[in-house]
Chains A and B, each alone.
Chain A
Amino acid sequence: MSSARVVVTGLGATSPVGGTVTDTWSALLAGTSGARVLEEEWATDLPARIAARVAVEPTEVLERVKARRLDRSGQFALVAALEAWADSGLADADVDHERLGVAIASGIGGVTTLLSNYDMLRAKGPRLVSPLAIPMLMPNSPAANVGLAIGARAGVHTPVSACASGNEAIAHGLDMIRLGRADVVVVGGTEAAIHPLPMAAFANMGALSRRNDDPTAASRPWDVDRDGFLLGEGAAVLVIESAEHAEARGARVYAELAGAGITADSHDIAQPDPAGLGATRAMRTALVEGGLEPRDVVHINAHATSTPQGDVAECLAITNALSGETDHVVITSTKSMTGHLLGAAGALESMATVLALHHRVVPPTINLDTRDSAVKLDLATEQRTLPVGDVAALNNSFGFGGHNVAIAFRSA
């Protein structure tokens, strides 16, 4: 593995708080929640009837025929990827397509396409099952469609590790560049699982907030009254490239993608290790890989989904990973506003981490009215500024299955 420096040169997002990166970032800084009550008839009997849908429907952005051949998760990915691609300046550049890769994750895949076709099968028989169902519902469909759109031929990948998937995709892209397999990789995650079946299933696990009468207060990481996560949807995409490639073309650099740490708990299929050992090792590995020390870290965008167990375990892991050097670290959970985007969460929150380093400002955690007494860290309840100079930040994502992926970014 070479130690090639890798930088972030393009960003794209369609999220519950904005249809673009600019709108998403403004909303996050303003503390805007994307949560709402689901008005659809199918939601009536669900225990959790709230979610954070995208702010802008992808069908308003994509050409109609293109959109109808994509699962909703693929639509989100394409919207975000095209924004990131244009933002990087590569859309108008001479690109070596054989050195261009894609790694776009999804936690659940094309679940709405799968289930709507099953509904059709039951109602009208096999003839009416769409011939496009497989290319739409396969989990690699968003990555493959983004690869088609930009002409990626170095390899197109779809890491799957539940709610750590988005960060695992970023880590995979970093590896591709450091292993010399690509110069540029379009990385990120997408998720579109706001459908009665996954919502009933998550609720039956006890994972979802049931604050149906007050949706914007439902996602409240580290607050004593947190009762589960708020399901979100959307996609975020980053264009990463070797620093050498970026410098040669004079690209604008948002931040350096310094390192990644991937570990597994081997503790329980759904519960995090309460001691947070796997999460600790993931953060430490990301720092070591990035040549960083705990004192370099000034900000962490935490996984913090607003579940009773996970939020506390993560804080313990942060303290251990940084060897107790946490006084200078501003921590936030943007999930308090966007909800939990599952396989897109790591990508969206990495985007927020990159922008925090770029603009030296951290978005607030909203709804943190009374903090859990077990949490001693510096949590941002309002917008906070970051110091100037050469600093670093971490983004954490953890997934069912015991997956832990931490990404380390360094200021440019």
Chain B
Amino acid sequence: MASTEEIRSGLADIVNEVAGIPADTVQLDKSFTDDLDVDSLSMVEVVVAAEEQFGVTIPDDDVKNLKTVGDAVAYIENAQPA
């Protein structure tokens, strides 16, 4: 299982790849839309890439609750296979 920091770091690389946002600014307290300027289509790309990388499933209904990087990291942490 990946640690919190490993998940944050992996997610930061994905956000950088998809949206061009510097990875070191992708911190737990940041809002995807308000702070990082990740639009809705890019968010779908981020979620799908995260599913692939961390071996989890994030249903569309849950994606709308992932407001901050911390929300996403916590969701992935809980959803990871034991």
Interface residues of A (CB under 8 A from B): 63-65, 68, 127-128, 130-132, 135
Contact = CB atoms under 8 A, between A and B. Distances in A.
A65 B51 CA distance: 21
B48 A132 contact: no
Interface residues of B, number: 9
Contact of A135 (B18, B41, B52): B41
B44 to A, nearest CB: 4
Interface string B41-52: 100110010011
A65 B20 CA distance: 6
A64 B44 contact: no
Nearest to A134: B41
A131 B20 contact: no
Interface of B: 18-20, 41, 44-45, 48, 51-52
A130 B49 CA distance: 10
5 contacts: A65-B19, A68-B18, A128-B52, A131-B45, A132-B45
A127 B19 CA distance: 19
Contact of B41 (A63, A127, A128, A132): A132
Nearest to B49: A128
Contacts of A128: 48, 52
A63 B21 CA distance: 12
A73 B20 CA distance: 21
Contacts of A130: 45
A397 B44 CA distance: 41
Interface of A, secondary structure class, is helix
Nearest to A135: B41
A127 B48 contact: yes
Contacts of B52: 128
B48 to A, nearest CB: 6
A131 B41 contact: yes
A64 B45 CA distance: 16
Given A131-B41, A132-B41, A135-B41, A64 B20 contact: yes
Contacts of B44: 131
A134 to B, nearest CB: 10
Contacts of B18: 65, 68
Contacts of A132: 41, 45
A65 B22 CA distance: 12
B58 to A, nearest CB: 10
Contacts of A65: 18-20
Nearest to B21: A65
A75 to B, nearest CB: 15
Nearest to A124: B52
A29 B80 CA distance: 62
Contacts of B41: 131-132, 135
Given A65-B20, A132-B41, 9 more contacts: A64-B20, A65-B18, A68-B18, A127-B48, A127-B51, A128-B48, A128-B52, A132-B45, A135-B41
Nearest to A64: B20
A295 B38 CA distance: 59
A132 B18 CA distance: 11
Nearest to B41: A131
Nearest to B44: A131
A132 B44 CA distance: 9
A68 B18 CA distance: 8
Contacts of B20: 63-65
A127 to B, nearest CB: 6
A127 B18 CA distance: 16
A89 B18 CA distance: 33
A2 to B, nearest CB: 41
A128 B50 CA distance: 12
